[in-house]
Amino acid sequence: MSKLLIGELVAPNKLRVQTIYNLEVAENAELDLSQGVVVADEPEFPAPEFGKAHIWYVNPETGESFFETVDRPLTEEEQRTQTDLDNKEAIANLYELMLGGGIDG
């Protein structure tokens, strides 16, 4: 299924994908294909990662897609999860200290 990818050209071989048009639907038949990159299929997207975003790029010369992973602010749910993990770690450390595994042994 052909797609037209339009976005910001950040380097001669690197376009940051911002808009995707399905060229198989009638309303997109008149799009100016020279405004972007035509690819046969969308790539397989990376799995979601805690505190990370995946930015989709395409090489305008080859049509090859690739992703860059960047840090992003945590969502509210991720913040709660991180707080829970931090609390569990702190409790485990306190138990270890209480059971004689203190700093000095």
Q: pLDDT digits over 37-73, tens only?
A: 999 988 999 999 989 999 999 999 999 999 999 999 9
Are residues 35 and 57 both part of a single domain? yes
Residue 94 structural domain: 74-105
Cα-based angle 3, 28, 14 (whole degrees, multiple of 5): 35
Are residues 57 and 8 both part of a single domain? yes
Are residues 13 and 39 both part of a single domain? yes
Are residues 33 and 10 both part of a single domain? yes
The whole-model pTM stands at 0.73
Q: Put residue 51 in one of left, alpha, beta given phi > 0 → left and psi -120 to 50 → alpha.
A: left
For the chain, how many structural domains are there in total? 2
Which residues fall within 8 angstroms of residue 56, CB to CB, at 6 or more apart?
16, 17, 43, 45, 65, 67
Are residues 52 and 42 both part of a single domain? yes
What integer pLDDT is reported at residue 42 of this predicted model?
87
66 in Cβ contact with 57 (< 8 Å): yes
Are residues 67 and 84 both part of a single domain? no
